[in-house]
Amino acid sequence: MIILGLNCFHGDASAALFRDGELVAAVEEERFNRFKHSGGFPSNAVRWCLYKGGIDPREIDYVAIPRKSNAHILRKLMWAARLPASSANRFKALKNFISLKEQLAFCFGLKPNDIKADFKFVEHHLAHMASSFYTSSYENAAVVSIDGMGDHASMVWGVGQDNKLIIKDYVYFPHSLGFLYTAITQYLGMQAYGDEYKTMGLASYGNPKYGDVFEQIVKIGNSIDFKLDLNYFTHHNRGIDMTFETGEPHVGPMFSDKLIETFGPSRVPSSQVTIHHKDIASSLQKRIETVVLELLTRIKYSSGQQNLCYAGGVAFNCVLNGLILAETGFNNLYIQPAAGDAGLAIGASLFVYHHVLGNSRKFVMNHSYWGPEYSNDQIYDVLKDSGSKYSTKDESYIFDHIASKLTEGKIVAWYQGKSEWGPRALGNRSILADPRNKDMKEILNQKIKNRETFRPFAPSVLREKASEWFEDTTDSPFMLITYKAKKDKIKYMPAPIHVDGSARIQTVDQTTNPLYWNLIKHFENKTGVPALINTSFNESEPIVDTPKQALETFKRTNMDVLVMGNYVIE
Ligand SMILES: [Fe+2]
């Protein structure tokens, strides 16, 4: 049975292909069209997934779409009637779904009637929940999705049991923890779609001195719910100015004059970040942690489950994620790498396969390498055409040579195998550096990244060594959980440790990424430190996809070494 999942006409457009419940390929459209978080229809991602699977589009049995226009229809209509006609873009987007079959056929030069697939529509948060539960190894789990909004809800929780997913309760628009984080991020002058993670990084530099204000802005209810004080926002009366066409999505301002009256003028983008801004970020982060941890604790009690599967954009808050096991009573936590809306393509597919069609479970996502890959021959062609000087080396030479270069302070672009599913580079499209050098963050920023100075870089750590260097570690293959570094170890690995003593680590498993594991192992043999700084292989655009993009980014920036497959360029 072939199922194609599509997140389309929404941020982070993506496609995923399943054969008999096993994931064949998954990739975000941004990797191809080079617009970060691209919306629209993921034509390139669809073509690549079918090519990878050797599937003719006429053979697809089901197309799974993570949106259900008749879900909560009365609520949707009520709000659509209240909002100004010009601002109800999210409601307008529904019309695009009429032509899905045409769009899919058009990708392959076919007629709509050539597509025989049955189109199945899955509610947004059910798809988020399914993306986590059905890719986890848990037979039973509490399942929680928290984001800005999808199908009129912002938080949904339920229980996954074997191949079924049962919803227990919703929190509806306009109350939304995701929109709260977005609104404050905008107020802090970070206005690009998906900038919320910058606020999280900034929060560690401040004090939560505005706790009382944020307790007023978001209140925990008596059940598993919360409410925003809407006086601080505009989304409930002006609508949400969002565009999700092909290209980078845009979200208009969501905070009201009341927020400006409370905290003063909003920060002008690119102006200095002051302690006031850091304190606001800190207060927001602290309040989000308090609210989500309380809700998860109630879900733990209400569900009686030991395992938590978590998804939605808020599940990218890795500082909060690092507190979940200690604070909520859950024993195990699983978040798949594309926890945000890209992951909906996987979730919708698996919801159809398991919950709707009743098939049993067998797939577990224990790595993130589901994207495009290019052979050594293809890499060779690019290098030859470019006139670049290169050498060809075998693996053992590469591990030793590159580990030595890293100990000398060189910055290495590491391009191997299939690209990562989700926003994190996890050792196949990565820029690597020595974590022992406390100045390496500044060096990386000067040479390549040019990021805000308050944003941390993160380490990849050998899985079996993580507990020696960090407190209370669990498996963290997708870099979505923050752990405290052991105090006596920080001096040996200062660069990727954040100002609060934490790090968003990736635990690297020898079986799921032997190349990357071996490189880190060689670095450990030379230095005693079983870790490397790992940041995504890009400058400011989406993570590089093709060897040509990798080479161009390498040449444009000041990296020292590029390793693509067996080719070394210095
Ligand atoms: Fe979502």
List the pLDDT tens digit at each of the 570 positions of the chain.
999 999 998 899 999 999 999 999 999 999 999 999 999 899 999 999 999 999 999 999 999 999 988 778 778 777 777 776 555 455 455 555 558 999 999 999 999 999 999 999 999 999 999 999 999 999 999 999 999 999 999 999 999 999 999 999 999 999 999 999 999 999 999 988 889 999 999 999 999 999 999 999 999 999 999 999 999 999 988 877 777 776 788 888 899 999 999 999 999 998 999 999 999 999 999 999 999 999 999 999 999 999 999 999 999 999 999 999 999 999 999 999 999 999 999 999 999 999 999 999 999 999 999 999 999 999 999 999 999 999 998 999 999 999 999 999 999 999 999 999 999 999 999 999 999 999 999 999 888 867 778 888 999 999 999 999 999 999 999 999 999 999 999 999 999 999 999 999 999 999 999 999 999 999 999 999 999 999 999 988 999 999 999 999 999 998 999 999 999 999
**CA separation for the pair 231, 378 (Å, rounded):** 56
Distance CA(125)–CA(67), nearest Å, equals 9
Distance 438 CA to ligand 1 centre (A): 37
CA 39 – ligand 1 centroid, Å: 13
**Residues comprising the chain, all counted:** 570
Q: Which DSSP symbol is given to 456? A: P
339 within 8 A of 127, measured Cβ to Cβ: no
Question: What is the spatial distance between Cα 151 and Cα 153, in angstroms, rounded to a whole number?
Answer: 6
Partners of 20 in the beta sheet? none
Residue 238 exposed, middle or buried by CB count within 10 Å (0-12, 13-18, 19+): middle
d(CA 520, CA 510): 10
Cα separations (Å) of 446 from 439, 449, 451, 535, 559?
11, 7, 9, 14, 10
Rounded Cα distance between 5 and 17, Å, is 6
**Tokens in use for 214?**
């944020």
Return the number of other C-beta atoms located less than 10 Å from residue 291's C-beta: 20
Burial class (CB in 10 A: 0-12, 13-18, 19+), 460: buried
CA pair distance 381, 521, nearest whole angstrom: 31
Predicted model pTM: 0.95
- In angstroms, what is the span from residue 203 Cα to ligand 1's centroid? 23
C-alpha of residue 343 to centroid of ligand 1, in Å:
9
Q: What is the CA(180)–ligand 1 centre distance, in A?
A: 14
How far, in Å, is the centroid of ligand 1 from the Cα of 128? 7
Rounded to whole angstroms, the Cα distance separating 248 from 270 reads 20
Contacts of 88 by beta carbon, 8 Å cutoff, 6+ apart: 80, 239
Distance 148 CA to ligand 1 centre (A): 7
CA-nearest of 199, 201, 294, 293 to 255 is 199
Distance 125 CA to ligand 1 centre (A): 7
For 96-140, the three-class secondary structure string (H helix, E strand, C coil) is HHHHHHHHHHHHCCCCHHHCCCEEEECCHHHHHHHHHHCCCCCCE
Only one residue has tokens 């979200």, namely 251
d(CA 300, CA 108) in angstroms, rounded, equals 47
Residue 345, amino acid: A
- The three state secondary structure string of 383-409 is HHHHCCCCEECCHHHHHHHHHHHHHCC
What's the gap in Å between 72 CA and the centre of ligand 1? 16
Q: Between helices 547-556 and 376-386, what is the axis angle to 10°?
A: 40
Largest CA distance in the chain: 67
Cα(124) to ligand 1 centroid in Å equals 6
Please state whether the peptide bond connecting residue 174 to the residue before it is cis, i.e. omega within 30 degrees of 0: yes
Question: At 147, which helix (H) or strand (E)?
Answer: strand 140-150
485 Cα: distance to centroid of ligand 1 (angstroms): 31
CA–centroid distance for 411 within its chain:
25
Closest CA to 50 of 20, 86, 10, 5: 5
Give the separation between CA 39 and CA 248, rounded to whole angstroms. 7
| Beta partners for residue 564, in sequence order | 415, 567
Q: How far is the CA of 126 from the centre of ligand 1 (A)?
A: 10
* pLDDT value, residue 80: 74
CA of 132 to the centre of ligand 1 (A): 13
DSSP per position, 344-367: HHHHHHHIIIIIIT-PPP------
- Comparing CA positions, the residue from 335, 426, 408, 381 lying closest to residue 137 is 335
Cα–ligand 1 centroid distance for 337 (angstroms): 14
**Burial of 167 per CB tally in 10 Å (0-12, 13-18, 19+):** middle
467 by Cβ neighbours in 10 Å (0-12 / 13-18 / 19+) ranks as middle
Q: Which token pair is 489?
A: 């170890």
Chain centroid, CA 103 distance in Å:
26
DSSP state letter for 269: T
- Take residue 139 and report the two structure tokens written for it: 């037979």
User: What DSSP designation does 501 have?
Assistant: S
For position 436, what pLDDT does the model report? Answer: 98
CA dist., res. 318 & res. 325, Å (int): 12
- Interatomic CA distance for residues 535 and 27, integer angstroms: 19
Ligand 1 center–CA 149 separation, angstroms: 6
Q: Where are the alpha helices (DSSP H) in 387-486?
A: 395-407, 440-444, 466-469
d(C-alpha 492, C-alpha 449), whole Å: 24
* CA 340 / ligand 1 centre spacing (Å): 6
User: How many angstroms does the Cα of residue 422 sit away from the middle of ligand 1?
Assistant: 14
How far is it, in rounded angstroms, from Cα 369 to Cα 420? Answer: 5
Number of Cβ within 10 Å of residue 449's Cβ equals 19
Span from the CA of 130 to the centroid of ligand 1 (angstroms): 12
